[in-house]
Structure 1
């Protein structure tokens, strides 16, 4: 039996993030500056690294526990989403979520941001609506919003070094992608059937 690289975007994202945490943990090479987004006023618009960091912050993780917590979900949900939406589209969603959470953090928060938890919440909300039908709201989506986003809203003022805002924004991105993409897909399918 051959091992298959079945979800290239999900697996490559995992391996790149694992390489970061290995370099940080075992080789004591701290690249956090390049794989985190600074808070309000700490990033220069004139530095090319600022624009790189708006995307790269989803690769950096503070610890193995942080990495494992995020990539358990990513490896569980990523292959399903990659099969449903395709590798290119899933990569676009990951990059858009990284950019949006990075920008919100840089403009509205004073703390730094690193880790893929915004992407995790995007995956969670997106996976709850993979089989959405036009004009219907899946109950799984409603329950996921209540359980996951509700918990983040209740924890938003906790002093726990966790960016609940990135989780909430990631979840919103997942909902927008899921409902928006499915509508466009439905239109393409129905227009093909008319021909």
Structure 2
């Protein structure tokens, strides 16, 4: 999750992390965000190894997607599903599913989808407890 394929890859991920990080850190705290990053990296790595054992992952895109989905839970109320979450899931995760099926490139759409799933589960659980 620390290494990237080049400057463009790094700047793309770092931009999202720098945009979303402060807002998420204020709401959830540094320790929780680090835990989410580690969980996302671990789950993504395990799933990648299970389904694509000869493919190495590079970059923090899974964590970026976890943060994007997690940010959509900022206005969460118990018993409701935020509209922002539904839109983010439809747009970002839907795009990754579509590209994973139709586009052949070196981008791990699986890591993006798994990161989004981790972000949605942790976002729901963290806000449910509040």
Provide runs of 4+ in structure 1 moved above 3 Å.
none
Counterpart selection for 1:125 from 56, 69, 92: 69
With the length of structure 1 as denominator, give the TM-score of the two structures. 0.64
Partner of 1:148: 92
Cα deviation per residue 1:46-97 (whole Å; 9 max; x = unaligned)?
Answer: xxxxxxxxxxxx1010000000111110000011000100010110000000
Cα distance between partner residues in 1 of 2:13 and 2:45: 17
Deviations 1:101-124 (A, max 9, x none): 011111211321010000000000
1:66-81 superposed matches below 5 A = 66-81=9-24
C-alpha separation in 1, matches of 2:117 and 2:74:
15
Q: How does 1:62-141 map to 2 (within 5 A)?
A: 62-109=5-52, 110-141=54-85
Match of 1:178 in 2: 123
Q: Aligned Cα RMSD in Å?
A: 0.8
Equivalent-residue separation in structure 2 for 1:183 and 1:136 (angstroms): 10
Paired residue total: 128
Pairing 1:161–2:106 present: yes
Secondary structure of residue in 1 paired with 2:78:
coil
What's the secondary structure of 2:115's corresponding residue?
A: helix
Q: Which runs of 5+ in 1 are unaligned?
A: 1-57, 186-195
Which of the two has higher C-alpha Rg? 1
* TM-score normalised by the chain length of structure 2: 0.96
**Cα distance, 1:126 vs. partner?**
0.2
Structure richer in helix, relative to its length: 2
Q: How does 1:184-195 map to 2 (within 5 A)?
A: 184-185=129-130
Cα deviation code 1:137-182 (max 9, x no counterpart): 1111101101000000001132110000000000000000010011
